[in-house]
Structure 1
Amino acid sequence: MRKPTTSSSLQMMPRFHPPYISPSDTGTTCFKETTRRLGYLWHSLGNEKMVVKVYGKAQAVCPQRVMHCLVEKGVPFELVHVDIDNMEHKRPEFLQKQPFGQVPYIVDGDLELFESRAIVRYLAEKYADRGPNLLGQTPEERAKVDQWLDVEAINYNPWAFPIVFNLFVLPIRGLPANEDDASAAVDKLNKVLEVYEKQLSKTKYLAGDEFTLADLTHIPATRYIVENCGLSRLLDDKKHVKAWWEDITGRPAWKKVVSFVETGGSNYSP
């Protein structure tokens, strides 16, 4: 029996032709081009698998903080809806990922991470080569950013939260608000904003003359306070705070987040 030639042997083998490779292509040039294109395809598929997943509710403050950072950095993400209205975030399977039963947490490759401020720090560091620098360039600048991130978490948010919860969240759920708690929080937040007014009379943004995470973390809760709680006066009577607010909420990335939330988006791609 005659041994098949190399050519006929190749013809007997099953053929695999990606849709963009012509079956008639042969030779070294074709091999290199096929390898290049398959490599690109593999890279693309890898990137698809590596999209950051954000677990939370689009309307919630902390997931918006994370989404804003991702949009600023031009990083694609998938929002995986968590039904917090029906207490999905308190179920055992969720608590395995976020033991305090809060949103959001993210999955980025092999990393699982919760706490929105830790998440945005991580994202700003990992994707430092994309979008604006949100952390500061020097140790001194980074220290200022961290300082105001702590101010937001320790001095601002403890008063912003009860305002939003009592004057916005509870009413839309048809539940009674604690007016005394809300009123006390408004007074406390106003005093905090008086400190902000002094700071912003000296610098364009909280940590200096560039927009950073120190500013970004304030936006979601403050938006609800201004637009949904009827408390724009907290900013209107403070010249520098008002200018700062108009600046940071006018950023294209934030406008994209608002649109994403209002249209019920689930996947974001720059």
Structure 2
Amino acid sequence: MQLYHHPYSLDSQKVRLALEERVVDYTSYQVNPLTGKNMDSSFFRMNPSAKLPVFQNGEHIIFNTAEIIQYIERIAVVSSGGGKITVSSGEVVEWMNKIQEWNPKFFTLSHIPEKYRLFISKFMRRVVIARMSEFPDLASAYHRKLRDEYETEDKLKNPEVLRRSKKHLVSLLDEAETKLSETSYLVGEEFTMADVMFIPVLARLELLNLQDEYINSRPNVAEYWNGVKQRPSYKKVIGRYFNGWRKYKTLLKTWCFLQIRSKLSRY
């Protein structure tokens, strides 16, 4: 089993948490979307959407995050020989889908300083153009990605798009706050795949330094967040990259790489 992912990718974090929690072995392939590695022809031929993560088991390839996690659960059940591990209940799946409905893309980009965001966007457009000329058989698919880059910038100028994204997030957090006033986790007293889906959302808010507005203002969510950060899976998948000074190291490394590639015009 192979997983194509990256620590920056929120959906990748969800899948890796599931793999760690269910103790499923896999081969890890990091694909950094900020440096355009997801546009490399080998990856792009497998997944023309260029989105992460991608899970592959033999010839079976899955792109949908929720479907990957449910597939991992089924693998874990078979591996355990029908022991304590069971597949997610209907309520857990309902929460998983509810969390997955919130797209973090525009919310995240809107909280990145414009000069950095535009620099990365310009770099990505040049990467796509370079790949179009290198691989003419993929030109139409690359062209769609180029169009997507321009459309993203246009949508970021629309206050209504950002307002809807924030409203959706607030609604999700408020519902979680209510639920966590009754139970230790999102679905009862046991940690489930619903929590696996929710943790990266909170991690993204903390990475953007928005924890006071969105997490700490909700006491039950804040207590829950402090607790789940102690789990070994969190420390391995997210904490090792973004806790404290580590997030600056992680981001600085990528930023320097982009600067060097841009100055050398190597895309």
Structure 2-normalised TM-score?
0.65
CA contact (8 A) 1:164 1:229 kept: no
The Cα offsets for residues 30-54 of structure 1, whole Å up to 9 and x where unpaired, read as xxxxxxxxxxxxxxxxxxxxxx321
CA contact (8 A) 1:206 1:215 kept: yes
Residue matched to 1:166? 110
Q: Structure 1 pair 222/132, CA: closer, same or farther in 2 (3 Å)?
A: farther
CA distance in 2, matches of 1:107, 1:235: 34
Q: 1:252 and 2:201 equivalent?
A: no
Question: How big is the shift at 1:187?
Answer: 4.2
Q: Which one-letter code corresponds to 1:148 in the other structure?
A: W
Q: 1:145 and 2:123 equivalent?
A: no
Residue matched to 2:165? 185
Residue matched to 1:73? 22
Q: 1:229 and 2:209 equivalent?
A: yes
Question: How big is the shift at 1:132?
Answer: 7.5
Q: 1:210 and 2:190 equivalent?
A: yes
Q: Structure 1 pair 70/185, CA: closer, same or farther in 2 (3 Å)?
A: same
Q: Choose the corresponding residue for 2:6, options 28, 50, 57.
A: 57
**Structure whose residues are more often helix by fraction:** 2
CA distance in 1, matches of 2:45, 2:84: 34
The Cα offsets for residues 163-186 of structure 1, whole Å up to 9 and x where unpaired, read as 223224966556499584556633
Q: Which one-letter code corresponds to 1:71 in the other structure?
A: E
Secondary structure at the counterpart of residue 4 of structure 2: strand
Residue matched to 1:113? 62
Structure 1-normalised TM-score?
0.64
CA contact (8 A) 1:163 1:225 kept: no
Q: Which one-letter code corresponds to 2:24 in the other structure?
A: V
Question: How big is the shift at 1:223?
Answer: 0.4
CA distance in 2, matches of 1:243, 1:102: 32
CA distance in 2, matches of 1:76, 1:209: 27
Secondary structure at the counterpart of residue 111 of structure 2: helix
Secondary structure at the counterpart of residue 112 of structure 1: strand
CA contact (8 A) 1:54 1:106 kept: yes
Q: Which one-letter code corresponds to 1:234 in the other structure?
A: Y
**Paired-residue identity, %:** 20
CA distance in 2, matches of 1:132, 1:170: 49
Structure 1 consecutive aligned stretches of length 4 or more whose deviation exceeds 3 Å: 90-93, 129-136, 168-188, 259-264
Secondary structure at the counterpart of residue 246 of structure 1: helix
The Cα offsets for residues 212-263 of structure 1, whole Å up to 9 and x where unpaired, read as 1111112223202123233332121212222222222221111111355468
Aligned residues: 205
CA distance in 2, matches of 1:259, 1:132: 28
CA distance in 2, matches of 1:83, 1:235: 28
Question: How big is the shift at 1:211?
Answer: 0.9
Residue matched to 1:104? 53
Q: Structure 1 pair 188/113, CA: closer, same or farther in 2 (3 Å)?
A: closer
Q: Structure 1 pair 260/121, CA: closer, same or farther in 2 (3 Å)?
A: farther
CA contact (8 A) 1:135 1:212 kept: no
Secondary structure at the counterpart of residue 3 of structure 2: strand
CA contact (8 A) 1:149 1:213 kept: yes
CA contact (8 A) 2:76 2:85 kept: no
Secondary structure at the counterpart of residue 217 of structure 1: helix
Q: Structure 1 pair 64/235, CA: closer, same or farther in 2 (3 Å)?
A: same
Q: 1:127 and 2:71 equivalent?
A: no
CA distance in 1, matches of 2:50, 2:100: 18
The structure with the larger Rg is 1
Residue matched to 2:132? none
